[in-house]
Amino acid sequence: MKKIMSVNAGSSSLKFKLFEMPSEKVITEGNVERIGLNDAYFTIKVNGEKQKEVLPIPTHKEAVAKLLKELLAKGIVKDIKEISGVGHRIVQGGWYFSDSCLVNDDTIAKIEELCPLGPLHNPAHLIGIREFMKVLPDVPHVVVFDTAFHQTMPETSFMYAIPYDWYETYKVRKYGAHGTSHKYVALRCAEMLGKDIKDLNIVTCHLGNGASISAVKGGKCIDTSMGLTPLEGIPMGTRSGNLDPTVLSFMASKKGYTLEELITILNKKSGYLGVSGISNDSRDLEEAVSQGNERARLALDLQYKRIADYIGSYYVLMGGIDAIVFTAGIGENSPRCRRSVIDRIQVLGAKIDPEMNKLRGKEAILSTEDSKIKVLLIPTEEELMIARDVVRVAKIEL
Ligand code: ADP
């Protein structure tokens, strides 16, 4: 029995989950938010109960120190050395990483080199890795990349039809995101259906604040909706998804925006928020729709329509679909979203059971007996995948 820590370090946050392996039991979980402020939050679950503290946490160094101190103080571990390995989530693994790997000087240099492609995330991940390595220098540290699962995409899926030199010299191509989640739910889908994943064509819909869709054929990703960055694909909480790039120059000429401002607007002020003018949260929009708000309805419908478009195109790409999986905040919790998407692809023979579709946050098969495509609800478990990879990659004996 070993304890494995799964870490997700953001620019001002640090999420953690401590697992007991091989049972995969969650020992504790929590996060540090608002790092850099005098009133940062430290939250930890002890015996299922959430405990929150407000305190100054100037940098990630203090965040890691606080976390380890509390693990000891609350008796969750008696000695920090009980932690046998640490897994770090990395958003951008670029063209270098098609699987998780051990942290060493070479890995760090490559993650650093990829910072321009993941400017908001990779630098924060590196700080997290360095701080954890200082306090746990004798255990293996493993990096798990959001992009790794998508590295099996063929050229026809990952290339953009742009000057080839942009690809060769600057590595401009599609990398995708949420790969750990897509991989987990695809594996779990095969298990739930009692089938070998090699025999299945699965569309995985990770619908959270950020959202992406993947085509998983025989267990391998062959296309995904996010691109060079998470801006591509379907409309999301605050992101626009696909649009004609000329919109940028047109709006620059109208309003005098810089390129950077325009990209920020497409990342932070578009999607649900931009169209509805109300919120980036699907719950707020669903509530507004129930009160007759037409722009909220449009914001949701733009997304549902685009999800259906991707499913249709992946149906053609894979030569049929055996299963569609819904996961992440909206996929797991919004019957309205699932029903609206499946209604739009009726022509493919997918049918959802209205009673089953009321379920939230629990594994279930939602499709009717006579549906030609199985529709599944599978809560994602990215942190567990990270802990599993620590054991596998570092060859930790359990
Ligand atoms: P991210 O990890 O990308 O920040 P999440 O996976 O947490 O996003 O998803 C956030 C979205 O999920 C929000 O739009 C929110 O409204 C929706 N969501 C989360 N929980 C629920 C719930 N219990 N009921 C309905 N929607 C939910």
271 Cα–ligand 1 center, Å: 15
Instruction: Tell whether 131 and 237 lie within a shared domain.
Output: no
Task: Quickly state the pLDDT bin for 8 (edges 50, 70, 90).
Answer: very high
Residue 151 lies in a domain: no
Is residue 185 domain-resident? no
Asked if pLDDT for residue 333 goes beyond 90, the answer is: yes
Mean pLDDT of the chain: 96
Long-range Cβ contact pairs of 262-270 (< 8 A, separation 24 or more): 263/231, 266/231, 266/239, 266/240, 267/231, 267/238, 267/239, 268/238, 268/239, 269/238, 270/235, 270/238, 270/239, 270/240
In a domain, 100, yes or no: yes
Q: Helix or strand or coil: residue 15? A: strand
DSSP per residue, 145-158: ETTGGGGG--HHHH
Would you say residue 393 lies in a domain? no
Is 331's C-beta closer than 6 angstroms to any atom of ligand 1? no
Q: Are residues 352 and 250 in the same domain?
A: yes
What's the 156 CA to ligand 1 centre distance in angstroms? 32
Indicate whether residue 279 lines ligand 1 (CB < 6 A).
no
**Cβ proximity of 285 and 276 under 8 Å:** yes
301 C-beta closer than 6 A to ligand 1: no
160 pLDDT above the threshold of 90: yes
Q: Is 138 a catalytic residue?
A: no
CATH number at residue 16: 3.30.420.40
Is the pLDDT score of 119 beyond 90?
no
Q: Are residues 203 and 99 in the same domain?
A: no
Residue 334 CA to ligand 1 center (angstroms) comes to: 9
Last residue of a domain, one of 104, 130, 145: 145
For residue 220, the model assigns a pLDDT of: 98
Whether the CB of 151 sits within 6 Å of ligand 1: no
Which among 39, 79, 106, 146 is annotated as catalytic?
146
The residues, any chain, with a CB within 8 Å of residue 186's CB and separated by 6 or more, are 197, 202, 204, 214, 216, 219, 325
Same domain, 291 and 359: yes
**In this structure, are 217 and 319 located in the same domain?**
yes
Kindly state the average pLDDT of the residues 52-75. 94
Amino acid at 366: L
Tell me, yes or no, whether 80 and 210 share the same domain.
Answer: no
Cα(330) to centroid(ligand 1), Å: 5
- Which ligand 1 atom sits nearest the alpha carbon of residue 284? 16
Q: Residue 35: inside a domain, yes or no?
A: yes
| Domains of the chain: total | 2
If asked whether residues 244 and 314 sit together in one domain, one would say: yes
Based on the domain organization, do 222 and 138 belong to the same domain? Answer: no
- Say if residues 222 and 176 touch (Cβ distance below 8 Å): no
Question: In ligand 1, which atom is closest to the CA atom of 210?
Answer: 3
What confidence tens digit (pLDDT) does each residue in 246-273 have?
A: 999 999 999 999 999 999 999 999 999 9
For ligand 1, what atom is nearest to the CA of residue 206?
A: 6
For the Cβ of 299 lying below 6 angstroms from any atom of ligand 1, the answer is: no
Residue whose CA is closest, atom 12 of ligand 1?
329
d(CA 213, CA 163): 26
Q: Quick check: is 312 in a domain? A: yes
9 has which bridge partners?
14
% the chain with pLDDT above 90: 97
274 and 362 part of one domain: yes
Name which residue sits closest to atom 2 of ligand 1, judged by CA.
208
Examine residue 105 and state whether it is found in any structural domain, yes or no. Answer: yes
Judge if 100 and 212 occupy the same domain.
Answer: no
Q: Is the pLDDT of residue 118 over 90?
A: no
Q: Is the preceding omega at residue 140 within 30 degrees of 0, hence cis?
A: no
pTM for this entry: 0.95
Does 286 fall in a domain?
Answer: yes
Atom from ligand 1 closest to the CA of residue 272: 14
Structural domain span for residue 9 = 2-145
State whether 139 and 200 are in the same domain: no
247 and 344: one domain?
yes
